[in-house]
Amino acid sequence: MKYTIDQVKKNSIIKKIIIENKVSDEFVEYDLTTLNRFISQHKECKNNGGIDKCEQNIKGKQLDLYFQNSQFYTTFVPCIHYLNDHPNYFQNQNLIFSDISLDTKFKSIKELILSESKVSETNSKNIAAIAKKVEDGMKVNKGIYIYGKVGVGKTEFLKVTANRFLQKGKKVVFIKTLTLTTKAHDEMFAEIKSKNTLNMCKYAEVLFLDDVGEEKPTTWKRDEILFNIIDYRYSHKLLTFFSSNLNLTKLRNKYSTVYDSKQSQEDEMVSAERIVDRIKGLVNEVEMLGKSRR
């Protein structure tokens, strides 16, 4: 059966792509053969187990559709049965680097909120508010700076958020600031100099900097590493997420007091203000409440 333009546009997947990409009827008509093939061959898997339950013609592979460069394309993607058997698939495909495991028992922020609601309604509302900050910020290409006491779940929240980006095919770097500054220092002062870690963090599609302010601040770490990365990401509007035990005011104070300073205190304050100002341009600041779970 050959579908008309109007019939094709009623398909829920095609309709969503048309709306998101503002596709005109001209392009729909041009790719009518591709769209007809997609409708006739696409089969949605049900989330009912592993690969042995898959009914696709090619087990584990599901036909998908996307719009790029003014044209519709079909491709094969892992089906839900394959993903059930390979829970780390998206991490393996899209995670550039992480110095901690991003495995988490929560598949989504909704699951995290639901779990938290069993412990504290106040905490679950707080996490829901933070999640909304993430959603609102992403509309204008802003991440979040999430601060709070040790053990309240900041890193766990960022891990769930990172996995969401990985599932969407985004290239992600997730790194503790202490790891970043240590690796960058070792690479830049090695016999064969390198900027691998620095550049990896500068150019990542989505960057998660965990435990900002945990590192012992020096002029070099602050200005040559952190400011270098954050300023580049600010200038290029790259999504960046931070966690810290310190709010931005306290972070500024910490970064204005470096043990190897050769500047006046006034100049150190300017340097600290400069980096915090860039962070503010990248994120919405939000506090995570609650007691330590450790």
- Is residue 263 pLDDT above 80, yes or no? no
Tell me the average pLDDT across 255-274: 82
How do the domains of the chain map onto residue ranges?
5-85, 89-287
Q: Model confidence over 116-160: pLDDT tens digits?
A: 777 778 888 999 999 999 999 988 899 999 999 998 999 999 999
Residue 114: which pLDDT band, with cuts at 50, 70 and 90? confident
Count of other CB atoms within 10 angstroms of residue 9: 15
- Is residue 244 pLDDT above 90, yes or no? yes
Give the percent of the chain with pLDDT over 70.
98
- Is residue 109 pLDDT above 90, yes or no? no
Question: What is the 8-class DSSP label of residue 109?
Answer: H
Instruction: Supply the pTM of this predicted model.
Output: 0.75
Q: Model confidence over 5-16: pLDDT tens digits?
A: 999 999 999 999
What CATH number matches the domain at 89-287, 3.30.365.10, 3.40.190.10, 3.40.50.300, 3.40.50.620? 3.40.50.300
For residues 233 and 240, the answer to whether their CB atoms sit within 8 Å is yes
Nearest alpha-carbon partner for 239 in 151, 167, 152, 174: 174
Over its C-alpha atoms, the chain yields an Rg (Å, rounded) of 23
The predicted pLDDT at position 37 comes to 94
Tell me the average pLDDT across 156-180: 94
